[in-house]
Every structure is written in structure tokens, then in C-alpha cells.
Amino acid sequence: MPSRQEPKFSAAMQELTDLSRPYEPTLLHLFSDLTPEELKTFKLAWPEIPPERRVRFMELVEELKEVDTRYFFVDVARFALEDLNPKVRASGLRLLFEEEDLKLISLFIRMMNKDPEPEVRATAAGALGFFIYLGMLEEIPEDQAIRVVDALVVKMNGDDLPIVRRRALESMGYATRPDVDALIRNAYLSGDKEWMASALFAMARSGLESWEKYVLAELENEEPDVQVEAIRAAGELGLESARETLIDLLENSELLDDEVRLTALISLAGIGGEGVRELMLQALEESESEEEMAIIEDALEELDFNEEIARPLLFNFDDLDSEEDDEVDPEPPMEDEGPSSDEPKKKRKRH
């Protein structure tokens, strides 16, 4: 029998451009990895699509990319950065959040500084954080990572709206520089709940346990946004000192905001230790939401992974030494003259 023919890109374009019905796509995946000719067709049709439909298209692309990383929407995302609608531009930026193309650095910096809409400037500032992360991993030239940090520091110290400057601060969390640490600390000490949340977000990215006292101090903050970021930071930093507080919180979970409760479960998976698995299994059993169950199951998998890599070596080097000694015919025993100076020292355990 002939094989079933795959839908063509033209059918996906027909769905998008048919203004007689709401946009409920079934062929959205066909906008992934466009050929030059397909991209040309897409660009020619785009201006005729109403703004609200373009926004919905981009939102759906973001959702698809979130659940299925096989798809590659970089061409669509780059084109969206030129759109007149700020929501479309912001979607394009989010779709490019983990692209390693160094040419994007200049584009993101320009959009952070020059775009007329605060939402877009803030999203561009957030997108720049990935390049600092790549610099931390030494996967891009050091001067490029420094350039990004410098641009974010200037933005943070400037007079842009708080939402833009807070996203710049969050992106700088990956940087390890005294001036960045000072900005994070000052934001936390400001007492403003939004700045405190952004500071805690940056602390989580830093990987530095030196932020421990600040994180622990906010685990029970009455402001959910601050509390969530503190709990998330405790997990990202693997703070064992936070374990008991998080367990206590979850034992009274009926009093918690849903996001706070789930974040606490996820963070405990990163921390591990006594009582954590039992608590997570209980939460899984009591959950009535499929989405929530999936989150807890992912957290349990992370806990399994963390416990596996932390498990001590089961191989006993002393036993190996004994076996090797048994293979050699020993000399006749001599009179006991006390401990031998040649007695092998015990090997230090590796952690």
C-alpha cells in the first residue's frame, strides 16, 4: 500500500492565513526548521495576518517548543523580532533564549536599550543571561561574556523602569564579580518585595553558598513571590540547612500557596536527605492533578539521580590490597616485633 502522505507546509500556511475561522492549528510543527522558500512564503504572508492572530501564533509556538524540544523555530523567532507588535517581539526573544549564536548578543543588547516597549526591553535583558551562563562554562570567549555583564551592569545602574532593571539583575546571577555581588546584595537589602525576589533569583543562579543566610531568612516570608524564590534558591544551592524548614512547611501544606508547595517539593529533591522521599511520595499519592503529579514525578527522578551520584563507592580498596597480597607467597612468619613501618595506610574516602 502507498505510504500516507505527510501534510505539506502549504496546508499549515492555509490554517494560519484563513481569517474566516479562529486559529486552532493542527500543523504548527510544520513551521519548524523552514526551508528558504518556506521562510520566504511565511514572511510574505505575515503582514496580512491581524496582530491578535500573530500574537496567538507565537504563543502557541512557544508552548509547542516548551513541550517538545525536537522543533526548531529559530527562523520564525528571528523574523518576529522585527514585528510591530511588542508581544510578538517578546515571544521571538523567548524562543531564542537558549540559542548559542554570538551574533544575538549585539541584537539583544540593542533591544534591551532601544526597544520602545518595557516588556521587550525586560525580555531582552532576561535573554542575555544565557550568554553569561555559557561564559561560566567556558563555551564562549571570555570577552563576549564580559561584554554582556558590562551591558547589564550599566542597565541595572541606569534609570530604566524597575521591571527592566530587575531582569538585568536576574541575568547577572551567573556572573562572579564583586560589583555584581554588591548589586544583588543591595537589591535584597532594599526591603522591596519585587527587588528581593529578583535578588534571590540571582542568588540561586550564582551557585554560591555565601548567600545562605539571606536565603534561609526568607523561606517563611509572608510574600509568596519572595518565599518562592527563596525556596527555589535553597534547592538550586543545595542548602541542607533548609531541609527541616521546608519539610515543616510541607507538613502544613494546606496553608501553602500551590506554587510555594510545589517549589518546596522540587527544592527538596535537590537537597535530599532523611524524610524527603517519604514526603514526596505522600504528596504524589495525595495529588489530584495530572500536571502536579507529573511535576512531583520529575522531582522524584531528580532525587533518584542526586542520590545515585552521591552514593559512596562500594568498592573496598583494602579488600583489593588483601587479595593482591594473597596472590604472593608470603615469607615464613617471623617473631612479632610490633607494627611494621611498611604497613599500608588506609585510603581516604573520596567525596
- CA gap 263, 269 in Å, rounded: 10
Q: What is the pLDDT of residue 304?
A: 84
Q: What is the pLDDT of residue 344?
A: 31
Q: What is the pLDDT of residue 332?
A: 43
Contact in structure between 38 and 46 (CB atoms under 8 Å): no
Where does the pLDDT of residue 316 fall: very low under 50, low under 70, confident under 90, or very high at 90 and above?
Answer: low
Cell numbers that stand for 174 in this block: 551567573
Q: What is the pLDDT of residue 280?
A: 86
**Section 59-86 average pLDDT:** 96
CA torsion angle for 106, 112, 113, 117 (degrees, to 10)? 140
Spell out the domain ranges in the chain.
10-96, 197-307
**Section 214-243 average pLDDT:** 96
- CA gap 267, 237 in Å, rounded: 9
pLDDT digits (tens, 9 = 90+) for 278-294: 888 988 888 888 888 88
Determine which helix (DSSP H) or strand (DSSP E) holds 194, and give its type and residue range: helix 193-206
Q: What is the pLDDT of residue 323?
A: 47
pTM of the model as a whole: 0.82
Class of domain 197-307: mainly alpha
- CA gap 180, 190 in Å, rounded: 15
Q: Tell me the three state secondary structure of residue 140.
A: coil
pLDDT digits (tens, 9 = 90+) for 103-146: 999 999 999 999 999 999 999 999 999 999 999 999 999 999 99
Contact in structure between 156 and 165 (CB atoms under 8 Å): yes
Q: How many Cα atoms sit within 13 Å of 13 on the Cβ side?
A: 15
Of 156, 164, 109, the C-alpha closest to 131 is 109
